[in-house]
Amino acid sequence: MLRDYLKLHFIVLLWGFTAILGKLLTVPPVELVFWRTLLAAVGLAVLLLARRQPWRIPARQAVQLLAVGTLVAAHWITFFLAARLSSVSVCLAGLATLALWTSLLEPLLLRRRVRGYEVGLGLITMVGLYLVSQAEFDQLLGLGVAVVSAGISALFSVLNAQLVKQHPPLRLTFYEMGGACMSIALFFPLYSHYFTRGQGLQLGWHGYDWLWLSLLAGACTVYAFSTSVELMKRISPFAVNLTINLEPVYGIGLAVLVFGREERMATGFYLGTLLIVFSVLIHPLVARRLKDRPPTPTPI
């Protein structure tokens, strides 16, 4: 069990490292997500074949999964864009509002009752977000994009909570990665014409991009996801959810180690982030005490 828990924390550490990789890569966010989803889809296909798991599904179900993949693409593009527009720490602070978004979207999409404690924790999150925005006012655009990214992530995580009942996780993720990759490929002509300032697509790799992309697609996506699925067979969902909620903490700590002074923020930022992380960590504890199932967090 100790080895399993250490492995789980290592996976969360990898997910916290994704924003740093996004900052290190020279490839623009849209092209970056194209490469990540393409390489991840290939890696997942290899895993499906190696484990001899069936991958064919009815056309209607395939369309559903591919459509959710477009949300995955939008989440990752806005996530990496937020890391470029601000610091990694500010980006992860904005992304930590995922639980707040989920508490708002679940009642709307799943038609369940509103939980009073989630409203209270959401208010704490909003106070934390206000403190972060006031402390790092010059990075407000990046923070806003990160919050939007968290909202998109919450949307597809709520949808996945229903779809995972119908499909094995590896197959589901394979189709979603394929859908994300295809949606970006279809978007390329419009993106190249209107959003690149005449520079066109920048799909080429430079310097250590090959290494960072390999880590992003291989370690942070294919390995981390497949291993987390395996660990869920032996570790309770509550323990997994609680550990995944530490992702912003690990990410901000790693960012300070990697980028040094660039990631050192004002005191208000850390107070605000502490409030956000507190609301995220306390949520599954309260939900378990009240015998409610906490929303499943979505790794970056």
pLDDT at residue 291, rounded to an integer = 63
User: CA 242 to CA 40: how far, in whole Å?
Assistant: 26
Average pLDDT per block of 10 residues along the chain, 300 residues long: 83 87 89 92 89 85 90 92 87 81 79 76 81 78 90 84 79 89 93 81 89 90 78 68 74 82 78 82 74 52
Which ranges of 86-198 would DSSP assign to H, the alpha helix? 88-95, 98-110, 116-135, 140-163, 169-194
| DSSP label of 137 | G
> What residue segments make up the domains of the chain, in order of their start?
2-289
Q: Residue count of the chain, please give it.
A: 300
Write down the pLDDT at residue 241: 62
Say what angle helices 88-95 and 2-24 make with each other, to 10 degrees. Answer: 120
Q: Nearest CA to 146 among 76, 78, 74, 87? A: 78
Pick from 233, 178, 185: which is nearest to 31 by CA? 185
pTM: 0.84
Name the token pair of 182. 């295809």
